[in-house]
């Protein structure tokens, strides 16, 4: 399999049970300026894997590629403005399906970075595919990496569907995004990379745990997990979005929505020197 040959073992593992071959989409758009890399979770459908979702939780899982859709929209807006950036978009595109080839609870997966990951829940698959993509992104030494993903139910529980939590390694980045979100009418809320919770994602069997037991701080621990795969955490921003509007409203008709790109676009000159 090409993904294994190219050393993307976790993307391969998550997509192994699907009839649709998992891919890592890598788009590079010209320019000679600073390097901006956007990474979007592209889980095109999520059954939960062998830790299968109940029916009432699976119905909306066509939206689990919301992170990919949002980074593609942001990339198109940046291109439309003609900004002088070395823009790159990475999308791990997979289906988390159920079959004999599915990865299992209790598996230990190796990652592109070399960290081992204990699988405690196959429904925490998004962070696995993002981890390999973030490792790959870091190898190019970009000036800024932004990831977007419909990553955790904990984010929805904490802030609801309208308000997108985000994490930033630098206070200046967080301030710029928060300020721009008001002007852009793109509501976001900063959450902390809370270092004391790092121990929650260290299972002792492997380097990392993809689904810590206890249920505490689910969005934060997912963000901390992703941060482990970025070489320069101070140059990393992560959005844990819901990306869906259940009923028609001011943002448009029922369906997928953008969360974060307008704020990012407005703050971009403060996030990266263009």
Q: What is the pLDDT of residues 189-221, one digit of tens each?
A: 999 999 999 999 999 899 999 999 888 999 999
Whether the Cβ atoms of residue 240 and residue 221 lie closer than 8 Å to each other: no
d(CA 47, CA 19): 14
Does an H or E element contain 208, and which?
Answer: strand 208-209
**How confident is the model over 44-77, as pLDDT tens digits?**
999 999 999 998 889 999 999 999 999 999 999 9
What is the widest separation between alpha-carbon atoms in the chain?
50
The verdict on whether 62 is a catalytic residue reads: no
The verdict on whether 156 is a catalytic residue reads: no
| Among 88, 112, 127, 262, the one annotated catalytic | 127
Q: Which residues contact 240 (CB under 8 A, 6 or more apart)?
A: 149, 150, 151, 152, 155, 164, 165, 166, 167, 191, 219, 222, 223
Beta bridge partners of 209: 118
At residue 274 the predicted structure's pLDDT band, cuts being 50, 70 and 90, is low
Query: Which tokens in the block code for residue 215?
Result: 């249920």
**How confident is the model over 236-273, as pLDDT tens digits?**
999 999 999 888 877 678 999 999 999 999 999 999 97
Q: How many CB atoms lie within 10 A of CB 33?
A: 15
Give the neighbor-by-neighbor strand order of the sheet with 108-110.
108-110, 116-118, 208-209
Residue 12 is predicted with a pLDDT of: 99
Domains and CATH numbers, the chain: 2-271 (3.40.630.10)
**How confident is the model over 16-48, as pLDDT tens digits?**
999 999 999 999 998 889 999 999 999 999 999
Q: How many CB atoms lie within 10 A of CB 250?
A: 6
Residue 1 is predicted with a pLDDT of: 83
pLDDT (mean) for 148-161: 95
| Among 23, 53, 156, 179, the one annotated catalytic | 53
Residue 252 is predicted with a pLDDT of: 75
């Amino acid at each position: 399999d090409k993904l294994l040959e190219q050393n993307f073992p976790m993307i391969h593992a998550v997509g192994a049970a699907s009839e649709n071959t998992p891919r890592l989409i890598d788009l590079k758009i010209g320019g000679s300026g600073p390097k901006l890399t956007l990474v979007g979770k592209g889980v095109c459908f999520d059954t939960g894997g062998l830790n299968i979702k109940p029916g009432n939780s699976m119905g909306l899982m066509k939206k689990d590629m919301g992170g990919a859709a949002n980074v593609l929209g942001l990339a198109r807006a940046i291109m439309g403005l003609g900004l002088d950036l070395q823009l790159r978009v990475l999308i791990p595109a997979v289906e988390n399906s159920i079959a004999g080839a599915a990865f299992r609870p209790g598996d230990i997966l190796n990652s592109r970075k070399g960290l081992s990951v204990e699988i405690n829940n196959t429904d925490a698959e998004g962070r696995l595919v993002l981890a390999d993509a973030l490792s790959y992104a870091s190898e190019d030494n970009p000036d800024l990496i932004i990831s977007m993903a419909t990553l955790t139910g904990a984010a929805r529980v904490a802030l609801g569907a309208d308000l997108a939590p985000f994490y930033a390694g630098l206070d200046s980045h967080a301030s710029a995004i928060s300020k721009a979100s008001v002007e852009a009418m793109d509501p976001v809320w900063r959450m902390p990379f809370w270092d004391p919770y790092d121990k929650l994602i260290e299972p002792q069997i492997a380097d990392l745990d993809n689904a810590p037991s206890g249920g505490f701080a689910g969005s934060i621990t997912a963000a901390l997990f992703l941060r482990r795969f970025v070489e320069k955490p101070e140059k990393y921003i992560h959005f844990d979005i819901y990306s869906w509007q259940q009923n028609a409203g001011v943002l448009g008709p029922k369906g997928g929505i953008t969360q974060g790109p307008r704020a990012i676009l407005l703050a971009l000159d403060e996030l990266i020197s263009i």
